[in-house]
Amino acid sequence: MGLAELKKHHGDLICPRCSSSVQVDESGVRCTSTACPYSKEPFPIIAGAPALFDFEHSIVSVEQLVATSGSSQIPREQPSSRFRRRLGTFLHPPNYQAERNIPRMLDLLRQDAGPSTRPVVLVIGGGAVGKGLDDLYAAEDVDTLAFDIYWSPVTQFIADGHRIPLADESVDGVLIQAVLEHVLEPQVVVEQIHRVLRPDGLVYADTPFLQQVHDGPYDFTRFTDSGHRYLFRDFERIDSGTVAGAGTQLAWSIDYFFRALFRSQMAGLGARLVFSWLAHLDRYLDPRYSIDGASSVYFLGRKSPSRLSPQDIIGYYQGAQR
């Protein structure tokens, strides 16, 4: 999306530093508050997209973005051959929960919006199209806005989830898939999600629980199912549970055990290939037991004026240890 297209969302964009409105023109994007440093120096344009960061409070630096033309710091090449794509699918089964819940989310958004309004869905960490999201990107009656801390052909702007550069109550839905483990302050990001959602807006999140470090220095935290639910305590629960269960978790552990034993990522990949069948057993495991040993969990919820209490989260527990 170039600056001309971005002007369609001009009224929704805000400065990530001071939350003032921004001015969009051919010279770039700058804050309208004269007290803000970003009013004097416009936000950089990277690969035709504005980089809307408060760089002083982000892990991303302007020098890094300019020097790399906004490229991801982690290699993210897509498999080029049919064999490698099939191998990837075998090693990592489809995200059945996303395939089930994204259509549910879209149907609810359409019902809430009515026939004359196009819902807007914000994808946080949308540098790559995640697994199970085909229905969202194929929906012709939904506007999808995606951003990440790096540029890609499917992002409309570059930004940090800790300071989303969108106005209060400006989107109808938020999707955040396999992202919250990669942010320094997950609670701050979820508060930002709550802020940008309109009343009764929807959020879908899936996040690792028992999963080894990936993306190296950009991996920070994990959540149990109950911890994930409490993270979204300002949302009414529609559904939640396991994305990838104990079988996937065991396959990950075997992979990383062999990496450590033989000091080789290739050894881990070979072991993962041999034991990849474990992940395909997730669909047959008892969900109460599997959620206590899950590789990742999900939450689908609606923005709520009330908050889940500490007492309520104890009653929420969905595992087998009662």
SS3 191: helix
Query: Residue 167: what pLDDT?
Result: 96
- Most distant pair of Cα atoms in the chain: their distance: 61
Separation of alpha carbons 197 and 105, rounded Å: 14
Both 305 and 204 in one domain: the answer is yes
Decide which of 37, 68, 99 is a domain's last residue: 68
Both 96 and 243 in one domain: the answer is yes
User: pLDDT tens across 202-228, in order?
Assistant: 999 999 999 999 999 999 999 999 999
- Ranges 4-8, 52-56, 150-154, 269-273: which has the least confidence: 4-8
Q: Is residue 129 part of a domain?
A: yes
Both 12 and 152 in one domain: the answer is no
Contact between 16 and 160 (Cβ < 8 Å): yes
Q: Is residue 73 part of a domain?
A: no
Q: Is residue 74 part of a domain?
A: no
User: pLDDT tens across 169-204, in order?
Assistant: 999 999 999 999 999 999 999 999 999 999 999 999
Residue numbers of the domain that contains 7: 3-68
Q: What is the CATH number of the domain that holds 205?
A: 3.40.50.150
How many domains does the chain divide into?
Answer: 2
Q: Is residue 322 part of a domain?
A: no
Pairing of strands 197-208, 296-303: antiparallel
Helix (H) or strand (E) holding 30: strand 28-31
Both 149 and 216 in one domain: the answer is yes
Both 159 and 264 in one domain: the answer is yes
The answer, as to whether pTM is greater than 0.75, is yes
